[in-house]
Amino acid sequence: MSVDLFTRRTLLVAGGAIAATWGGGLHVPAQAQGLAPTPSMRGGSNNYIPNAPIVERIGGGGFWMTGTVRRAGDGAPLAGQRIQIWAHTTEGYESDPHSHGATLTDENGEFRLEMPQIVPAFGQPHGHLAYDSDGFETVFLRPVMPSSKDTSLRADFVLRPV
Amino acid sequence: MNPVRTTLVWAVLVVAIAVPIAAAAVSPLLAWRSPAYIAAGFAGIIAMALLLVQPLLIGGYLPGLPAPRGRRIHRVIGAVLVIAVAIHVAGLWITSPPDVIDALLFASPTPFSDWGVIAMWAVTGAAVLAAFRRRFRMRVRTWRHAHTSLAAIVVVCSVVHALLIEGTMETLSKVALCTLVVLAAIKVGVDLRVWAVRR
């Protein structure tokens, strides 16, 4: 039995993989330079109530909404940015004021807000997030949970300066 | 028809309709929904159940309800179906108006809303055709083609709509009901030779 360590196929696959990694690596700085702003999602602003107060947590908690806020272009993390969050949870509807709350990003541009468990509503378990302050263009996100059993949800913002 | 078969057919129909409704009635999601939202959900489930009954009536498959009588009941059930769809949409509107506006404008982030809205317009069209059948003075065959085409759109779109939703319906009973709805529609379409070429 002959042992072909390098058949034509493995060579092609390995070569392709190396080329892809190398090429991808080469492009990383270029991508960061041109980091595109996050567009608002369809339905993202549904049941939005402006100026949700900054809170320690929304209701009784048990579920985590997390994410990052960065600047478009250079991708620099943005500290102290206010992110507003609301959802249909075990404690209320999207339209209930007590389902809304806001939090600020830390020095790494990360935010984390505890809230009640999100439950499926209008066919999907989903949350709503808004960046709606001065300095950057408004963005509304509506991420969907891969499973309604999840106890956290993540959404990342890339903001375009006004 | 022999009594065993009669009992069997009706028993299967009752089970096919009662099980999905009963399963939805014990859904944990109900705890976090308002009466309007719950009513909207059940109106949708009942509408789906009626979609199973409609072809069975028009085909005269239900024991004790041969075609002429079945057709009269088909008309009544058709009206109930339209009312169920209206309650479905109205209940969702009360629960979250912006989500319903998005759906009606085909601007919703959820694809299943588009299917639902198409089914809503198609069922409205089928009902209008039925209500004004005489006034429209269409040829019988033309009317049948139009009504059956709309009914087919209602069936396909409603089934896709329901299957894509994560809601109060339990998955297995939902799939089973949807399968029966499609099979019943196909059977009546074939049996009545709606699209048969005639000379």
Sequence-distant contacts of B128-136: CB under 8 A, at least 24 apart: B130/B75, B130/B78
A-B interface: how many C-beta pairs under 8 angstroms?
51
Chain A positions touching B158 (Cβ under 8 A) are: none
Q: In chain B, which residue's Cα lies nearest the Cα of A143?
A: B109
Mean pLDDT rounded to a whole number for chain B: 94
Binned at pLDDT 50, 70 and 90, residue B137 comes out as: confident
Cβ contact B29–A120 (<8 Å):
yes
Q: How many residues does chain A have?
A: 162
Contact assessment for residue A140 and residue A130, using Cβ atoms and an 8 Å cutoff:
yes
- All CATH 2.60.40.10 domain ranges of chain A, comma separated, are 63-159
Domain ranges for chain B: 3-191
Q: Is A93 on the interface with B (CB under 8 A)?
A: yes
Query: Which segments of chain A have a pLDDT < 70?
Result: 1-33
Distance CA A119, CA B144 (A): 44
Would you call A119 and B34 a contact, using CB atoms and an 8 Å cutoff? no
Structure tokens of B75?
A: 């008309």
CB contact under 8 A, B108 and A43: yes
A46: nearest CB among B96, B113, B166:
B96
Q: How far is A39 from chain B (nearest CA, A)?
A: 14
Q: Is B104 on the interface with A (CB under 8 A)?
A: no
B42: pLDDT confidence band, cut at 50, 70 and 90?
very high
Q: How far apart (Å, rounded) are the C-alpha atoms in residues B31 and B33?
A: 6
Average pLDDT for B172-187: 97
> Across the interface, do B113 and A123 touch by the CB < 8 Å criterion?
yes
d(CA A51, CA A48): 9
Return the pLDDT at A86: 98
For residue A93, the chain B residues in CB contact (below 8 A) are 34, 95-96
Q: Does B158 touch chain A (CB under 8 A)?
A: no
As beta bridge partners, residue A144 has A126
- DSSP letters, B91-132, are HHHHH-HHHHHHHHTT--SSHHHHHHHHHHHHHHHHHHHHHT
Judged by CB atoms closer than 8 Å, whether chains meet at A43 and B29 is answered as no
Contacts of B16 (CB under 8 A, 6+ apart): B49, B52, B176, B177, B180
CATH architecture for residues A63-159 = Sandwich (2.60)
The phi and psi torsions of A70 (rounded to 5 degrees) equal -130, 165
| pLDDT value, residue B195 | 74
Say how far apart CA B192 and CA B199 lie, in whole Å: 16
Which pLDDT belongs to residue A29? 47
Residue type, B10: W
| B179 and A CB contact within 8 Å | no
Assembly ipTM: 0.85
| Burial class (CB within 10 angstroms; exposed 0-12, middle 13-18, buried 19+) of A15 | exposed
Interval B87-101 mean pLDDT: 96
Does any CB of chain A come closer than 8 Å to the CB of residue B27? no
